[in-house]
A and B are shown apart, each in its own frame.
Chain A
Amino acid sequence: MQKISRDSLNLGLIFTAAVLFVTLIGMPAVFDETAMIFLTAESALTLNQVMLIGIALGAGYAAARKQTGADPAALALNGAVAGGVTGLALAVFTALAAQVDLRGVFVNVSPELLNVLSFGEPGVAGLLILLVGGVALGALGALLTRLPARVQSVGVVTLFITLLVGLLQSNINSLINPADALIVTLWVGAGYLAAGRYGNSSIGRYIGALADDRAGGMRAPALRGLLAGLLAGLIVALVLLAGGSAGLEASLLVKGLWVDQSTLAGLILILVTGGIGGLAGMLLSVSPATVHNMGLAFITLLLVLGVVYAERKLSIVGALIVGALIVALQLLGRTTSRAADARHAALAAPQRRRVGILNVIVGVLILLIVPQISNLYITSVLDQVGLYILMGLGLNIVVGYAGLLDLGYVAFFAIGAYATGVMTTPNLVTCPPPGDNVIVMTQANADAGYLEDSYRALSRESVGVVVDTPAVYAANVIRRTTIVPFDSLDAAMAALDAGDIAAVVGQQPELASYLAAGSLVTSEPFRPNRTTWEPPRFTETQRAAWCGPILPFWAAWPLSGLIAGIAGVLLGIPVLRMRGDYLAIVTLGFGEIIRIVTLSDTFADYLGGAQGVTEIPSPVIDLTALSGISDAFKQPIALSSASQVYYLILFSVLLIMFVANRLSHSRLGRSWMAMREDEDVAQAMGINLVNAKLLAFSIGATFSGIGGAVFGSWLHSIFPNSFTLLVSINVLSLIIIGGMGSIPGVVIGAFALIGLPEVLREFSDYRMLAFGALLVVMMLLRPEGLLPARPRKLENHQDQENGTGEAISPPQTVQAAPPVAEAAVEGGN
């Protein structure tokens, strides 16, 4: 007897509510414009269709999960009911909305939306598609519950990633060509196989005998990996050379390495790169499971990118290949990672340490290469993610380690950005305050570049007078400066006599007194001798002294961090005695205060007010002053593009990650954690709460300030409204989604919360909506975060057992702790 459960109907109604909600906010119409997988050259599976299919499948799946019995027919029936109810509701809505105009209230219910909902079929046909589709997909979804759990999880991950690839294809289809992806895979794979699986073969033993292979030694596998990589490199080089110029064109990587086709240098370079690839493969084969899987995932990513590159528009075949790669990754990763893990565990401690260091080096190398192979868009997204990682690392100290809830964290980011902006930009503090100042200058002088300086000297409200320079006049109108042009000095002097302008600045002898004072600007009437009037000529030193930046970026950068740190202490002192929620509101208020102060007119002379600080110069690497280096490096390099700033951000992230990691294992870090768990007990144990709290605030603030400084010089302009409460909330959310108190968690959280929405720009309308929903769902399903910090108990245990120096490669006992146990411990506190 097959029975329709009440749960199925309820679930159908819940999914109905969901589907009606997404419909009313107009999602289907927007999503219909995003093609994911091209079935033919013209028609494609759109995101909208994927979403509707997903909802129907999900309804059926959820209904079947509620069933206790395992009878397929009953499951299918219940699934069909849930899916059918959803489909029916959507059909009824479509039919109704076609009759009644809902746009007065629900602005997004447009005819296009209805057209999209009925899959372009007018009338009853479209409604039938919805209903029948709902029933069929619901039943299908229900039957999916009968698959083994392992298959289900692999399937879901595969489907998700494949669809994500489809979604991102327009951004990622020009990154890596298939030949390059294959070559790198070949090199790494050769090294991996040579070092790992075939290590005991006769050839392996022979090579092993060449190397001094002491107990648990790494030299033999390393040598095998190197040789295999070299061999693979040689094969690749030979194959491509045999293919001639066509072969070289196929692989941009090899073409790039093949410096000069007439010499051996190119060949050697290819061999060396192959060798490095082989070594990396060897390294993977003895790495801990996490690193091993990350390596496999990286290789898979390369191959997937290669497929997308080859396809340009992802076809159904391409999607299947991508799916197959991801399935292979999951199946392969599961078995091989255990073997690698075992090999890693068998190594002696110093060697494990070496593997860890080498892994970090390989990781950094990959990170260094990324902006070279990715496009500008991806790089700037990475830059943004990097800045959020910086902030996340800082807030992680305050909230994750020390347990002080800070809702105004963006303030320190703003302080860092403004500190750098004000110190490195030549038009704010260094220049005199506004007044009715006037500069008269000829066209010749303006052309010589002095006009720029004059205008930096003058504030925005000032009146500049430029003789006979209509072009400059136009340029200055754009700068929002009121300006009165005069054709001649006589006219300007007449205006001065009439009192229309305050001063005229001109000829050299008369200027001397003002220049001596370090300023060209005066509010007193200044009367040059008309007959001998000459345009002013300034020396470079005078120009620099007059209105230059206070400090170059490289000096301002650490100073910004310091200033933010001091601000952290200043905030910390009054809130020392406040408990959690009071702290939250006061810090939130502090964030708002900083934003309002930067926005206000009162401080606009120093901070730019609502217009913000503009024209912040890029950091310049200028080695001209250094002696003993070749002239090739003496060219000043301005770090202005996204890929140049990337290195700056990467450097700061790595540095701060290192510092944060060391801190968390330090005495201070342990006292923070003690304080987080229980302030009173911590105090009783002799921890100085005042010091610990202030240090947490100031170190967290410093990290953020360092990020803010890079932010300002990257974007060249900062506005008060870049530092809203939402940024603080974003940062807090990312450390909580990533896993509180966990450094890898911060990275994952930043990518998930900042990187992903940034890449999915097409639906910018729904970004915040999805963000909010994600926060709620995440907290309901996995409150401990994606990569939770290891339970402190185990960590303390590790410290006792192994002493110091084990930070880079954590020992196995901890690694092997099942995630469920971690979740339980984390969730329980």
Chain B
Amino acid sequence: MSELSVNHLLGIKYITEDDINLIFETADHFKEVINRPIKKVPSLRDITIANLFFENSTRTRLSFELAEKRLSADVINFSAASSSVKKGETLIDTVNNILSMKVDMVVMRHPNPGAGIFLSKNIKASIVNAGDGAHEHPTQALLDCYSIREKLGDVAGKKVVIVGDILHSRVALSNIFALQKLGATVKVCGPKTLIPKYIEHLGVEVETNLRNALQWCDVANMLRVQNERMDISYFPSTREYTQQFGVNKKLLDSLNKDIVVMHPGPINRGVEITSDVADSKQAIILNQVQNGVAVRMAVLYLLASKIQ
């Protein structure tokens, strides 16, 4: 197979295992490219990409922009904070105005779940979802799985626990879909208030004891506590959260095996993981960031090849 089954990357839910493997194989080649003295290929030189960020982002935005530039695409950036969105323009109007400037692809982050899907039905451009509310963040899940594959050789058969704020996390949902499609077993762990009520229907088990979860897993993906999305109090205090669901070196050392620790960033050091864990050899947090560029290059390259 040399082509994706979709024209947009809206979520992991909508792509197949073959798609994911094709993205990974392509990312392998781009990883080699970004380690060359000249880290650029001319493939997308006739493509213009708009990065529309209606929500704050550092890593994802830089990573996408770098991926686009390394593929030689023309890039325009847009952030809601400094735009006409503040003046009351609708999403379709904003995007159509940008598209009338002849843009071929749109990378969008939006606070509303389904914003990418809505856009894909209404405009003519290839859409890449860079996070839509608490729904999906497909490229993050792809780079997480890619990093697991790189570290452990394969994703199939691995046991992965996702720890923390599952309720508000698009990273968790995309990761669950991606890991399951690739044959991994997934558990979630966190305070009951931050675990969605019917999560078992996705085929994941819930574990409320962090120690048991870590003892079971090969990989622990530590999520950030998303204070900005919490309108009510979900746990008594940050200190109590850290005591029950924070990973520290002592806890890792007390396990009878070495597990891989991941974090999608940005880290709240001392909350979900301590600094000595984040900077330890078991953590592959910076590998995730590096792989993010290669994986995003692969996604953009494969989607661009389908543009007529």
A joins B in a complex: no
Residue numbers of B with Cβ under 8 A of A are none
Chain A residues at the B interface, C-beta cutoff of 8 Å: none
